[in-house]
C-alpha cells in the first residue's frame, strides 16, 4: 500500500512566538480512513491546511502523492489541489452561486459534460437531503445546510484524498450518521479520508479507521485508544519518532 502523505518533523509557526505544530511526524497510507482529534486550538485545522497545501510548514518535510510538497512550484499547486477534496471548517461556499452550482464546481473544472454534471449533482443533493434547495444561494441556507453543500462539493469528483475539517460539526446526530456513510462510500471507492472531529463516537463507527490525536500541537497516542479491530491494529499508522 503506497504512502499518500508523509510528514517528518514538521513545525508550523504563525508569525513569532511558540510553534503551533511541533515535530509532527506521521504517514498516511493510500485508501485508509483517518480521524484527527484534539481539543479546540490543538492545531487540527493547521495540520489540515498543510495537507491541502494552503500553508507551508516552517520546518520539516512534507511529501504528498510521492512528491516534496514544500518546494512544489506554485504553478503545480492547482494540479495537486484537484486531487484533494476539502471540507473547510468555515465551508467557503461561493456566495453568488446556487447550492447546485457550488456542488458542480469540481466537475466543471474537470470538464465533465453538463448532462452528466446535472445527474451527479441531483443525486448528491438527494443524498444530502437538499433536493428542494438546489437553487438556493449559500446565505439563505442554515449552517448545517451549508455544511452539507460543502461536503457534497468536496466528494462529488471522487478525489484521491479527502480532507474534512469537522464536517459534522453543524448537523444533528442523524445527519452526522448519514454524512459518515457518504464518507465511507467514498472511502470504499478508494479515497483516502482524513477527518478532524470532536465526536469520538464517530470514530467507533468506522471499523478499521486510524486515529491521530493532537495535544498542544504535538501528535500523541489517543487516550482512550481506539477500540481494537485486530486488522486495523496490524496496519496501524506508521508514526516515526513515537
Ligand atoms: N492564521 C493564523 N494566524 C495566527 N494564529 C493562528 C492562525 N490559525 C490558527 N492559529 C492559532 O493556532 C492554534 C491552533 O489553531 P487551529 O485552528 O489549528 O486549532 P484547531 O485544533 O483546529 O481548533 P478548533 O477545534 O477550535 O477548530 C490556535 O492557538 C490558533 O489561535
Ligand atoms: Mg479547527
The per-residue pLDDT for 89 is: 92
The per-residue pLDDT for 227 is: 55
- What distance in Å separates the CA atoms of residue 74 and residue 152, rounded to the nearest whole number? 27
Between the two ends of the chain, the Cα-to-Cα distance in Å is 21
The per-residue pLDDT for 232 is: 40
Q: Whose CA is nearest to atom 29 of ligand 1?
A: 41
Residue-range definition of the domain harbouring residue 53: 3-226
**Ligand 1 touching residue 60 (CB < 6 A):** no
The answer to whether residue 211 sits within a structural domain is: yes
The answer to whether residue 133 sits within a structural domain is: yes
Residues with CB under 5 A from ligand 2 (ion): 44-45, 89
The answer to whether residue 240 sits within a structural domain is: no
240: left (phi over 0), alpha (psi -120 to 50) or beta: beta
The answer to whether residue 231 sits within a structural domain is: no
**Ligand 1 touching residue 42 (CB < 6 A):** yes
pLDDT per residue as tens, the chain (242 positions): 699 999 999 999 998 889 999 999 999 999 999 999 999 999 999 999 999 999 999 999 999 999 999 999 989 999 999 999 999 999 999 999 999 999 999 999 999 999 999 999 999 999 899 999 999 999 999 999 999 999 999 999 999 999 999 999 888 988 899 889 999 999 999 999 999 999 888 888 999 999 999 999 999 987 766 654 444 433 333 333 32
The answer to whether residue 238 sits within a structural domain is: no
**Ligand 1 touching residue 76 (CB < 6 A):** no
**Ligand 1 touching residue 225 (CB < 6 A):** no
**What is the Å distance from ligand 1's center to 168 Cα?**
19
The per-residue pLDDT for 200 is: 86
Number of domains in the chain: 1
The per-residue pLDDT for 226 is: 62
Burial class from Cβ neighbours inside 10 Å (0-12, 13-18, 19+) for residue 154 reads buried
Candidates 155, 240, 147; CA nearest to 193 is 155
Strand-strand pairing, 192-196 and 33-38: parallel
The per-residue pLDDT for 19 is: 96
Q: Whose CA is nearest to atom 3 of ligand 1?
A: 14
Q: Whose CA is nearest to atom 16 of ligand 1?
A: 43
The answer to whether residue 233 sits within a structural domain is: no
The answer to whether residue 239 sits within a structural domain is: no
The per-residue pLDDT for 231 is: 42
For residue 210, the surrounding DSSP H or E stretch is: strand 210-215
CATH of the domain at 160: 3.40.50.300
* All three cell numbers of 229: 479491530
Amino acid at each position: 500500500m503506497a504512502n499518500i502523505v508523509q510528514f517528518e518533523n514538521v513545525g508550523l509557526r504563525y508569525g513569532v512566538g511558540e510553534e503551533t505544530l511541533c515535530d509532527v511526524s506521521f504517514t498516511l497510507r493510500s485508501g485508509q480512513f483517518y480521524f484527527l482529534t484534539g481539543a479546540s486550538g490543538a492545531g487540527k485545522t493547521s495540520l489540515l491546511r498543510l495537507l491541502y497545501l494552503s500553508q507551508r510548514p516552517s520546518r520539516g518535510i512534507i511529501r504528498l502523492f510521492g512528491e516534496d510538497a514544500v518546494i512544489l512550484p506554485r504553478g503545480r499547486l492547482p494540479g495537486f489541489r484537484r486531487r484533494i477534496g476539502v471540507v473547510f471548517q468555515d465551508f467557503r461556499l461561493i456566495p453568488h452561486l446556487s447550492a447546485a452550482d457550488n456542488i458542480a464546481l469540481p466537475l466543471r473544472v474537470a470538464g465533465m459534460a453538463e448532462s452528466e454534471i446535472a445527474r451527479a449533482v441531483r443525486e448528491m443533493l438527494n443524498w444530502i437531503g437538499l433536493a428542494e434547495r438546489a437553487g438556493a444561494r449559500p446565505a439563505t441556507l442554515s449552517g448545517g445546510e451549508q455544511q452539507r453543500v460543502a461536503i457534497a462539493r468536496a466528494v462529488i469528483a471522487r478525489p484521491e484524498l479527502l480532507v474534512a475539517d469537522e464536517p459534522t460539526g453543524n448537523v444533528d446526530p442523524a445527519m452526522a450518521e448519514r454524512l459518515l456513510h457518504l464518507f465511507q462510500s467514498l472511502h470504499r471507492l478508494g479515497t483516502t479520508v482524513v477527518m478532524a472531529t470532536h465526536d469520538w463516537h464517530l470514530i467507533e463507527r468506522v471499523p478499521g479507521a486510524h486515529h491521530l490525536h493532537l495535544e498542544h500541537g504535538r501528535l500523541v497516542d489517543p487516550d482512550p485508544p481506539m477500540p481494537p479491530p485486530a486488522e486495523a491494529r496490524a496496519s496501524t499508522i506508521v508514526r516515526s519518532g513515537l
